[in-house]
Amino acid sequence: MRVSTDGRLLKGEQTRNAILSRAADIASAEGLEGLSIGRLATELGISKSGVFTHFGSKEELQLATVRKAVELYREHVIEPALAVPQGLGRVRVLLDAWQRYQREPVFPGGCFFHSTMAEFDARPGRVRDAIASSQRDWRDFMERCLREARDRGEIDASADVPQLAFELDAVCRTGSAHALLHDDPTLYDRAARAMSTRLAAVTTSG
């Protein structure tokens, strides 16, 4: 984290950050295309050109917003897991942090990545690539945690880690999506139950 002594650059960076925070919130609810520069300007009380010049193009704003969301995701989901020792304990912390991230209004419109992934699925370009890459990173991290637990003998040696990671991912994100759509928080619980029984099925009964 380079800290500039130049007050101008400092001021610039902090408004840029304010823009991106708001942008991530909006995009989680209205999508990265629904994100508009004019709206950001109005809501933040700055001029349209003031917002624009920070990014140079809408696509660049979208990419920066994805990076900001990744940062928030890391902070709320990844870091709590990294703070505890490897193994099944870390897996549990990871899944807990993940569910908390879904429930708490980290993003007001539900998981940023669920929304934008569905939006950019079929829309080639740099934004899609960035989202896809973030999803690969997430999957890799999840698999790594599971593998660490397996290497410790806390998860069955025969367990198919990628498959397990995929299934845990599926139920958690789908549960959150349904909870939001139907405004029914018990659907989070349904996802939680699916995750814990799925995990219990592969943990060694030591």
Partner DNA sequence: AAAATGAACGAACGATCGTACAATTATCTA
Partner DNA sequence: TAGATAATTGTACGATCGTTCGTTCATTTT
| Smaller CB separation from DNA, 54 or 90 | 54
Give me 103's structure tokens: 């429930």
Please tell me whether residue 31 binds DNA under the rule CB under 7 A: no
Among residues 2, 8, 158, 200, which is the contact residue for DNA, using CB under 7 A? 8
CB of 190 to DNA, least distance (A): 36
Does residue 38 contact residue 26 with C-beta atoms inside 8 Å? Answer: no
- When CB distances are held under 5 to 8 angstroms depending on the partner's kind, the choice from DNA, its own copies, none that residue 38 binds is DNA
Among residues 119, 138, 188, 202, which is the contact residue for its own copies, using CB under 8 A? 119
Please tell me whether residue 115 binds its own copies under the rule CB under 8 A: yes
Please tell me whether residue 11 binds DNA under the rule CB under 7 A: yes
CA distance 50 to 38: 10
Interface segment toward DNA; rule CB under 7 A; list 33-41, 95-103, 111-119, 126-134? 33-41
CB of 10 to its own copies, least distance (A): 34
Roughly what angle, to the nearest 10 degrees, separates helices 126-151 and 58-73? 10
| DSSP secondary structure string for all residues of 27-46 | HHHHHHHH--HHHHHHHHTS
- Size of residue set near DNA by CB under 7 A: 27
- Size of residue set near its own copies by CB under 8 A: 43
Among residues 29, 30, 50, 96, which is the contact residue for DNA, using CB under 7 A? 50
Output phi, psi for 155, to 5 deg.
-130, 145
CA distance 45 to 47: 7
Give me 34's structure tokens: 């629904």
Give me 177's structure tokens: 């999506």
Among residues 122, 158, 200, 205, which is the contact residue for its own copies, using CB under 8 A? 122
| Smaller CB separation from DNA, 55 or 73 | 55
Alpha-helical runs (H) found in the chain: 7-34, 37-44, 48-52, 58-73, 79-82, 88-103, 112-120, 126-151, 161-181, 186-200
Q: Which residues bind its own copies (CB under 8 A)?
A: 28-31, 33-34, 108-110, 114-115, 117-123, 128, 131-132, 135-136, 162-163, 166-167, 169-171, 173-175, 177-178, 180-182, 187, 190-191, 193-194
